[in-house]
Amino acid sequence: MSVRILDGTKISAEIKAELAAEVQQLAKDGLRPGLAAVLVGNDPASEVYVRSKVKTCEQLGLYSEKITPPADISTDGLLAIIKDLNQRDEIHGILVQLPLPKHIDSKKILLAIDPAKDVDGFHPVNVGLLSTQQPGLVPCTPAGCIEILGRSGIKLEGSEAVVVGRSDIVGKPVAMLLTNANATVTICHSRTRDLREVCRRADILVAAIGRAAMITPDMVRPGATIIDVGINRITDPKTFESLYAGDQARAKQFAERGSTLCGDVHPRVADVAGAITPVPGGVGPLTIAMLMSNTVRAAKLRCRTRVVTAS
């Protein structure tokens, strides 16, 4: 039986279509969700990411602003920008593109964002809301993982899930989301004893460790569902050959570009898994879709709060 490919690009398009319709309906009620993207300096990769986010806002009918302070701005200067955005009614979501220049206190900046506008879902208030199953803003990549599973008909309740990676951005929040969905969850990390055996128990295995091809076929129970969060760039020809021997399409791409993207899951895992997200085209496209979803959610929550306060 061939492995089922969980197409993140297709699912992302479905979510965006739903959001576009919702944004149109909100506009009739006089509400246009707004996102401010703060890009400090001129990091090329960050510029690409922010450009994509602003473009998606335009496609869906959201209001967006790109704010580009110089790379030498001080922490206090950036805090002043955040304070202003917190107070603006037309801005419902604030995104500070990471990484910030080393001289800026990133933690202080992220903590300064109004939790109600924290569309990345990183603020401790939103982390607390997630852990206590209250309405809040959830980190985009973990939320995307859950959307892929849910929209693909993968059963979560009663399933045994293993998350490899314990970062605050992906590992911990995706484990909480799975727990909230009544899965039985194990979080693994670099100190986990006998990682192979722990992973082989999983009905659902989420790989978010940040190491290319770390999850090998012998670590996967036959028929398991694999969510590969990793995005690693492979540039060494020997490494490429060891991972993708026989993949002519990928070999052509590698020859043209000098690199290819590889997840945290070894390509051969597809030989034993029941379902798997590809890299690229799996979890990645969901991240921006969920950022848009969070912006719309933040706008609705803010509007609801104002109505309650006024009454």
Domains of the chain, each with CATH number or no CATH: 30-114 (3.40.50.10860), 140-284 (3.40.50.720)
Tokens 């999983």 sit on residue: 202
Per the annotation, the verdict on 117 as an active-site residue is no
What is the pLDDT, as a whole number, of residue 310? Answer: 47
The predicted pLDDT at position 45 comes to: 86
Q: What is the pLDDT of residue 190?
A: 86
Residue 303: its pLDDT value, please?
80
> Which of 81-90, 163-172, 297-306 has the weakest average pLDDT?
297-306
What confidence category does residue 306 fall into, taking pLDDT thresholds of 50, 70 and 90? low
**Residue 25 bears catalytic tag:** no
| pLDDT tens digits for range 94-109 | 999 999 999 999 999 9
Provide the pLDDT confidence category of residue 214 given band limits of 50, 70 and 90. Answer: very high
Active site residue 120: yes
Of the candidates 120, 203, 228, 264, the residue annotated as catalytic is 120
Q: What are phi and psi of 260, to 5 degrees?
A: -150, 160
Catalytic residue selected from 16, 97, 114, 172: 97
- pLDDT mean across residues, the chain: 95
pLDDT band at 243 (very low <50, low <70, confident <90, very high): very high
Q: Which of 53, 172, 203, 228 is catalytic?
A: 53
